[in-house]
Structure 1
Amino acid sequence: MDDVLRRAPLFAALDDEQAAELRASMTETTLPRGEALFHEGDPGDRLYVIVEGKVKLHRASADGRESMLQVVGPGDMIGELALFDPGPRSASATALTEVKLLGLGHGDLQPWLGARPEVAMALLRAISRRLRRTNDVMSDLVFADVPGRVAKALLDLSRRFGVQSEEGIHVVHDLTQEELAQLVGASRETVNKALADFAQRGWLRLEARAVILLDVERLARRSR
C-alpha cells in the first residue's frame, strides 16, 4: 500500500514520517464493483486516493445519456477539487472493480496545506494535469475520427494498466463495450467496428474486458 500511496501527488512531497502521519488521518473505504462512491451534484469536501482497483468518472446528460471522463486506478486521486473549493461534485465516481480507497476531508488537510506549501503545489500540479487532459479530450472530440479516438484511448489505458507479455501489452481495462464507447464519445456500434478493423489488421486482439495490443506503433500512428 505504501508504494501505491507514494505515487499519489498528495504524498509525493512528504518524507516517510510525514507520509505516515497523513496516512493515519485518512479513513479507508471499500466498494464492490458497480457501487457509486459519489454522484454528480453531491456535496463534496473529501479527496480519495485509490489503493486497489479501478474507478470510472462519468457524467450524465439531461436526457440520461452517459459520458465517461476517465478511468483511474491505484495511486490516482479523486475529488481533489473539493479540497480547494468544496461544492457539488462535478462528476460521478463508480467502481469498475472491487475498490479500496483512502479518504481525507477538507478540514483535515487544511493544516497540511498551510504548513507545507509543497503539498498544495503538488495538488495543484495534479489538477493542472487533469485540466490539460480534459482539453485534449475536447479537442479530440472535435478534430479526431472515432477510430483515432479508439486507438488513443487504448494506448492511454495501456500506459496506466498495461502489462508487457510475450505477445504484446495486455491491458485489463474492466470496461464493457458500452463503457468503452462512452469513454471514446461514440456509439457502441461505431467503436466495435473500429476495434474489429484493428483486430483484422493484426494490431490487437480482443478479450473480455481486456485487449492485447500487438502493434503499438501502428496504433500510435492511427491515434494522431
Structure 2
Amino acid sequence: MSVIEALNKTALFSGMTSSALRIIAKGAHSISVPCGAHLFESGDEARSFFLLTSGIVRLYRAGLDGEDKVYQVLGEGDLIAETAMFSKPCVYPLSAQAESDCDLYRLHKEGLTELAANDSRFALYLLEQMSGRLYQAVNRFDQLTVANAGQRLVMYLLALIQEQKSHWLTLPVSVKVLAKQLNMSPETLSRLLARFRESDMISGRGRKWVVSDAAGLCRVTNLPLPEAMSSMAGSQFFRCCNFG
C-alpha cells in the first residue's frame, strides 16, 4: 500500500484531496522497527510523525517512581505524534516504543504544518480533532482516578467489545502493559481476571479472552449495565491522548 493510500484510510486524513495528501506525504519513507526499539523518547526534538501500517506501539512516560506510565497503545492504521508537530518547543512529550515488530511511514512535519497554514478548513478540522481528544483525555483521567481497579478493567473490556465487534477478544498488548495502561499492578490485574474467570463471566488466558457475561461484570463492579456503559466509554475511550 502506498503512503497516499495509507493516509487516506486514517480518520484524520480520509476524504482529503489527492493534492493535499501529496503535500503531507512529501518526503515520506517507510521504516521497520524491531520489537523493543524506540521511535523516539520524551524530550527528543519532534521532526517527524508516523503512520503505523503493522504492529503495536505504546506511548509512555517514565514516572518518578521509576515505573512506566502507559498513556496509549496504538495499532495498524494509527497516526503517531501528529499533534506534537505543532507544539512549541517542538519536542515529543511521550516516548514511543514498539511492542512488536512494526512497519511505519515516517512523515516530515513540514508537510503537515504547510497544509495547516495554507488551508483554513483543514486547520479548523485539525483543531476540532485536537479538542475532541482533549475531551476524551479529561474523561479518561477522571475514570482512571475515580473508578476502582475492577471498574477500570470492566470498562476496558466493554470498550474492546465495541472496538473488535465481538465478545471473543484479543488483547492488543501483554497483561503487564495493560496493567500499566489501566493504572494498576500486574498482580492486581491477574487477580481480577482470575476472579472473573472463576465466576464464569469470562474465560481465556494470555491475550485471548471471551466475555460471556458482560452484565454480570457490571453488576459485581457496581457499574451501569453494558447498554449504558457504551455511551459513557465508547470504543476509543482507552485509546485517546495521542499526543506522543
Tell me the TM-score normalised to structure 2 length: 0.78
Choose from 207, 210, 221 the match for 2:208.
Answer: 210
Superposed, 1:37-186 pairs within 5 Å as 37-85=39-87, 86-160=89-163, 162=164, 164=166, 168-173=167-172, 175-186=173-184
Identity %: 26
Deviation per CA, 1:57-111: give whole Å up to 9, x if none: 1111123111111111122221122221152211111112222222222222222
Choose from 18, 32, 46 the match for 2:34.
Answer: 32
Partners of 1:123 and 1:52 lie apart in 2 by 25
Quick one: which amino acid aligns to residue 171 of structure 1?
Answer: T
Residue 31 of structure 1, CA deviation: 1.2
Quick one: which amino acid aligns to residue 170 of structure 1?
Answer: L
Partners of 2:33 and 2:128 lie apart in 1 by 28
Partners of 1:176 and 1:10 lie apart in 2 by 28
Residue 212 of structure 1, CA deviation: 2.6
Asked if structure 2 preserves the Cα contact closer than 8 Å seen for 1:66 and 1:182, the reply is yes
Give the unaligned 5+ runs of structure 1.
none
User: Which range moved further: 144-153 or 212-221?
Assistant: 212-221
Partners of 2:39 and 2:161 lie apart in 1 by 25
Indicate yes or no: 2:199 matched with 1:201.
Answer: yes
Residue 13 of structure 1, CA deviation: 4.3
Residue 187 of structure 1, CA deviation: 1.3
Give the unaligned 5+ runs of structure 2.
225-244
| Residues 3 and 73 of structure 1, relative CA distance in 2, 3 Å threshold | farther
User: Which range moved further: 107-116 or 9-18?
Assistant: 9-18
Asked if structure 2 preserves the Cα contact closer than 8 Å seen for 1:82 and 1:106, the reply is no
Deviation per CA, 1:100-128: give whole Å up to 9, x if none: 22222222222222232333233333322
Q: Which has the higher contact order (CA 8 A, sep 6+)?
A: 2
Quick one: which amino acid aligns to residue 191 of structure 2?
Answer: K
RMSD: 2.5
| Residues 94 and 220 of structure 1, relative CA distance in 2, 3 Å threshold | farther
Indicate yes or no: 2:6 matched with 1:8.
Answer: no
Tell me the TM-score normalised to structure 1 length: 0.84
Asked if structure 2 preserves the Cα contact closer than 8 Å seen for 1:12 and 1:122, the reply is no
Partners of 1:116 and 1:17 lie apart in 2 by 12
Secondary structure at 2:13 match in 1:
helix
Larger relative strand fraction: 1
